[in-house]
Structure 1
Amino acid sequence: MFPIRDHNPSGRTPYVVYALMAANILIFLSYLGIMDSAALLNRFYATYAIIPARITSGSGFETLVTSMFLHGGWMHLAGNMLFLWIFGDNLEDEMGHLPFLLFYLVAGVGAGLIHVATGPDSVAPTIGASGAIAGVMGGYLLLFPRAKVDILLILIIYFRVFTIPAFIMLGLWLAFQFFGSLTSDPDQGGVAYWAHTGGFIVGLILCIPLWLKLGGTRYWRRTHGHPPHPEHSYKLTQSRIPRVPRR
């Protein structure tokens, strides 16, 4: 189950979202040529990825930012950019371009610090924009809890698109990340669940002042939990997999 789009186009062009997507894609392409060389790739990650033990020792703090623009493969990159594209434009619209950029970077750094704090002795390199994008998702949940999001559900051979409120999709995502945080070992590398969970919470907290400025619960009542723009309607098609009637 993963989101494919929301029904809430931005009221203005999300230049920062587009710029962040372009930066992530171009940076990934810049080192794509060394992906087949373990030695070169490890040296590259040793310079630019978060290595908790290095930061704990008092160095490498710049990697809290540089790691946010690195990805381990095409699917890693595509998944993160999809989430940024779906959830980032409405936040940028409400915050403004430069405040949204600052919010994105602070959420990413906060997620990285939480990752370091939960595995301070780990020497496994950590990369990806997931922590910052989790912050975007946390802010989106606070401001637009009832926004419509289309998700693609895949069960073996069953494919179907459903429209659900954002609070259900994002709540389930956070629950999966939190469960992963409790069952994973940061020292072994793999998915940085604590960065995802922490980034989500950091983003939500950072958006509280904006939410209060907009009116808090009055803003929810005024917008019904949706972004304050006319929503876009999509025509959902039935699954092409034939149904076998019961006899």
Structure 2
Amino acid sequence: MFARLTPVVKNLLLINIGLLLIPSLLNFDLANLFGLRYIFAESFKPFQFITYMFLHSGFGHLLGNMFALFIFGPMLERFWGSKRFFIYYMVTGIGAGMLFGVVNFIEMQQLESAAQQYINNPNYEGFVSFINNNANYVYRQWYDFIDAFGENPNSQEYLNASIQRVQEVVRFQANVPLIGASGAVFGILLAFGMLFPNTELFLLFPPIPIKAKYLVTFYGLYELYAGIQNAPGDNVAHYAHLGGMLIGFILLKVWQKDNKRFY
């Protein structure tokens, strides 16, 4: 089965697997330094637009991305050649990170604005509304504080503490790193669907055959829906996935107009 692997795909698999094992062997969290941060966070570095795509949060996260690379990557690498395939993988991954950065910037501006509005006028109802709208994940963790604040809504001690917690939410959100090869992988999925649209793939769940073009369309629409929905507790970077597909689409169109150039 592994004989079908092409050089770039094989090396990408080895790098991603190795970088998942290193933190556990060295007791060092690579995501703290190499994960992609909010562009105005103190921990942001430009090289993170590249390094983030080689890190994963765990085996399940890695398996999902590398399985897709293993299935779709070799055929594209044989079709394009190794150099063009590598360029495509890197450009879509970096582009996905950049689009995520734009969306993250907008979301952080909205969060900082909401936080400043609360700081200017702290009160119990406003605190609960801020948490529900911006940090639903901490509600259970802070339940005792919220309950006590509700019983003492005019207490200056609780008002000051609520301001500190709002500021804590902003700091936390600004320092959540983006990691994973999903942007580049979704770019590969799009390329496969565009170049081999009528290739039939057999899904595991549900166990039915489906043409590549329909699978790609479904994934794209789902990611758009999930990104707009922005459900509480959803920590998947849907706009990074869409970014990989968008950059991949643009790159394919550029290459189609420039057939005389080879990489």
Q: TM-score, normalised by structure 1?
A: 0.70
The amino acid that maps onto 2:21 is L
Gaps of at least 5 residues in structure 1 are 1-9, 155-160, 215-247
Which has the higher Rg, Structure 1 or Structure 2? Answer: 2
Q: Which residue, 205, 208, 211 being the options, matches 1:153?
A: 205
Cα distance in 2 for partners of 1:31, 1:167 equals 38
Q: TM-score, normalised by structure 2?
A: 0.66
Cα distance in 2 for partners of 1:168, 1:132 equals 19
SS of 1:71's equivalent? Answer: coil
Which residue matches 1:62?
Answer: 47
2:218 matches 1:166: no
Alignment of 1:39-50 (within 5 A): 41=29, 44-50=30-36
SS of 2:201's equivalent? Answer: strand
2:5, 2:70 within 8 Å by CA — same for their partners in 1? no
SS of 1:164's equivalent? Answer: strand
Q: Which residue, 189, 193, 202 being the options, matches 1:141?
A: 193
Cα distance in 2 for partners of 1:204, 1:60 equals 27
Q: Which residue, 213, 216, 226 being the options, matches 1:180?
A: 226
Cα distance in 2 for partners of 1:115, 1:189 equals 15
Which residue matches 1:51?
Answer: 37
Which residue matches 1:241?
Answer: none
Once the two structures are superposed, residues 157-210 of structure 1 have per-residue CA deviations (whole angstroms, 9 ceiling, x without a partner) of: xxxx22110011111111111111111279x87100000011111112211244
CA shift at 1:211, angstroms?
3.9
Deviates more, 1:200-209 or 1:95-104: 200-209
2:33, 2:43 within 8 Å by CA — same for their partners in 1? no
Cα distance in 2 for partners of 1:102, 1:130 equals 16
Cα distance in 2 for partners of 1:97, 1:45 equals 28
CA shift at 1:59, angstroms?
4.8
Which residue matches 1:245?
Answer: none
2:37, 2:43 within 8 Å by CA — same for their partners in 1? no
Q: Segments of 4+ in structure 1 off by > 3 A?
A: 209-214
Relative to its length, the structure with more helix (as a share) is: 2
The amino acid that maps onto 2:20 is F
Alignment of 1:21-170 (within 5 A): 21-33=13-25, 41=29, 44-54=30-40, 59-120=44-105, 121=108, 122-154=174-206, 161-170=207-216
SS of 2:57's equivalent? Answer: coil
Q: Number of residue pairs matched? A: 191
